[in-house]
A and B are shown apart, each in its own frame.
Chain A
Amino acid sequence: MATASIEQEIHRIEARRRLYSGILLIVVAATMIAGFLEASRMNSGSFFGGLKQFWDYPGEIVIEAWQSGTAFFGLLVHFIPALVETINIALVATIFGGLGALVLSFLASRSLEVWPPLIPVVRRIMDVTRAFPELIIALFLIFVLGGGPIPAMIAVAFHTTGALGKLFSEVNDNVDRKPIEGLRACGASWLQRMRFAVIPQVLPNFLSYFLLRLEINVRASAILGYVGAGGLGTELRRTIGWGQGAGDETAAIFVLLILTIVAVDQLSSYLRQRLTRSDRAH
Chain B
Amino acid sequence: MAVDRAAIEREALRMAGGRTWLLLSIIAAIAGYLVYAHFAFDVPKLLQNARWENAVILGTDAVAHKVHVVHNNRTARYEVSVEGERTATYAEPPNWVAVAGSKAAVDLEDGYVVEIDGASMRFTVPGYGIIAARADANGVTADLPDGVRPDWLIVAPNKLDARPTLGRRVQVSRAKIEVHRYFFGWENFWFPFRSELHDKSAGELWTLATSGDRIDDGMPNWQHIFLTWWRNPDWQHNEVFIALLETIMMAVLGTLVASFVGLPLAFLAARNFSPSGVLRFFVRRLFDVLRGIDMLIWSLIFIRAFGLGPLTGALAIAFTDTGTLGKLFSEALENIDNKQVEGVRATGASQIQRYRFGVIPQILPVFLSQSLYYLESNTRSATVIGALGAGGIGLLLVETMRTARDWENVAYIIVLTIVVVIMMDSLSTWLRRKLIEG
Interface of A is mostly: helix
Q: A31-B252, A131-B425 are in contact. Are A36 and B314 (CB under 8 A)?
A: yes
> Are A42 and B311 neighbours in the complex by a CB distance under 8 Å?
yes
> Are B300 and A240 neighbours in the complex by a CB distance under 8 Å?
yes
Is A136 at the interface (CB under 8 A from chain B)? Answer: yes
> Are B301 and A43 neighbours in the complex by a CB distance under 8 Å?
no
The number of chain B residues with a CB under 8 A from chain A is 62
Is B308 at the interface (CB under 8 A from chain A)? Answer: yes
Partner of A254, one of B250, B297, B308, B314: B297
> Are B311 and A43 neighbours in the complex by a CB distance under 8 Å?
yes
Stretch at the interface among B112-120, B176-184, B288-296: B288-296
Q: A47-B306, A133-B380, A144-B54 are in contact. Are A57 and B301 (CB under 8 A)?
A: yes
Stretch at the interface among A67-75, A111-119, A181-189, A222-230: A222-230
Partner of B58, one of A56, A143, A227: A143
Cα(A233)–Cα(B299), bound, Å: 13
Residues of B within 8 A of A257 (CB): 294, 296-297
Partner of B253, one of A39, A254, A262: A39
> Are A222 and B294 neighbours in the complex by a CB distance under 8 Å?
yes
Cα(A43)–Cα(B422), bound, Å: 26
Cα(A255)–Cα(B181), bound, Å: 54
> Are B384 and A135 neighbours in the complex by a CB distance under 8 Å?
yes
Residues of B within 8 A of A222 (CB): 294, 296
> Are A43 and B257 neighbours in the complex by a CB distance under 8 Å?
no
Cα(A85)–Cα(B293), bound, Å: 19
Partner of A227, one of B309, B312, B380, B398: B398
Residues of B within 8 A of A223 (CB): 294-296, 384-385, 388
Is A146 at the interface (CB under 8 A from chain B)? Answer: yes
Partner of A133, one of B302, B312, B417: B417
Cα(A258)–Cα(B292), bound, Å: 6
What bracket does the count of chain A residues touching chain B fall in? Answer: 35 or more
Q: A127-B425, A135-B397, A136-B418 are in contact. Are A145 and B46 (CB under 8 A)?
A: yes
Residues of B within 8 A of A135 (CB): 380, 383-384, 387, 394, 397
Complex interface bits, A17-37 against B, C-beta within 8 A gives 1, otherwise 0? 000000000001001100110
Q: A88-B40, A133-B383 are in contact. Are A143 and B401 (CB under 8 A)?
A: yes
Complex interface bits, B353-396 against A, C-beta within 8 A gives 1, otherwise 0? 00000000000000000000000100010011101100000100
A122-151 contacts to B (CB < 8 Å)? 127-128, 130-136, 139-140, 143-146, 148-150
Return the 9 tightest CB-CB contacts between A and B, nearest first. A43-B309, A45-B307, A44-B307, A50-B306, A39-B311, A57-B304, A39-B310, A43-B311, A50-B305
Between A and B, 14 residue pairs with Cβ closer than 8 Å are: A42-B309, A43-B307, A43-B312, A45-B306, A57-B301, A57-B304, A88-B41, A91-B37, A95-B34, A133-B383, A136-B397, A136-B418, A261-B294, A265-B291
